[in-house]
Amino acid sequence: MTLYTAMITLILIMDPFGNIPLFLTTLDRFKPERRRFIILRESLFAFLILAFFLFFGQYILKGLNISQPALSLSGGIILFLIAIRMIFPGAEHRDEKEKYSDSEEEPEDPILVPLAVPMQAGPSAMAFVILSSSQFPAQRPMLMAALFGASLFCTAVLLLSDLLRKLLGNRVLRAIEKLMGMILTTMAIQMLLSGINDYFR
């Protein structure tokens, strides 16, 4: 495995472009300066979590008797719940957004879930770094460099989400959000099916 292939694979798995609608929806209540701070903080959390799993994940999973199917199933359930909320926000969610937009009080920001885990440091990314470090233990420094490069790229894409909002408009972004929610639903179901298949196999 090379640095280029590892970094490209991580970028595809972390899927920063697919995460833009969820980030915009989750952070819509916050001021631009606060949004940038939250994106940087959550990206740092995601990087640290994946780096931790890169070096120690295989030992933790072995010690807790957590299998890859369990990792896939839990990730699939979380993604499915997030996707349903994106497609059908509901009146309660809309009223909450209006309340925050009309209020001068700064809302409490999300920490770790869902912006860092599972949207960036998801089960697939965790499984990839654990599997790669197990197969190529001598290449862990290279894998760490690939993880750092992929994290920088994903953070840069997410920081441009406000610019995309201005260029495309809220209506287009809402349509993209629902479309990405549908795609995320299929990804969640596929993750669940893969976990079930791996369990029985």
Domain ranges of the chain: 3-93+112-200
The length of the chain, given as a count of residues: 201
Q: Contact at 8 Å (CB) between 51 and 133?
A: no
Say how far apart CA 26 and CA 127 lie, in whole Å.
26
Q: Is 84 exposed, middle or buried (0-12, 13-18, 19+ CB in 10 A)?
A: middle
Q: The pTM is what? A: 0.68
> The tokens of 74 are what?
């839990």
CA–CA separation, 81 vs 75, rounded Å? 10
Per residue of the chain (201 residues), what is the pLDDT tens digit? Answer: 789 888 988 887 887 877 887 788 788 888 888 989 999 999 999 999 999 999 997 787 778 787 777 766 876 787 687 778 777 876 444 444 444 444 445 567 788 888 998 889 987 788 788 878 877 888 999 999 999 999 999 999 899 987 877 787 767 767 766 776 787 687 778 778 877 887 887
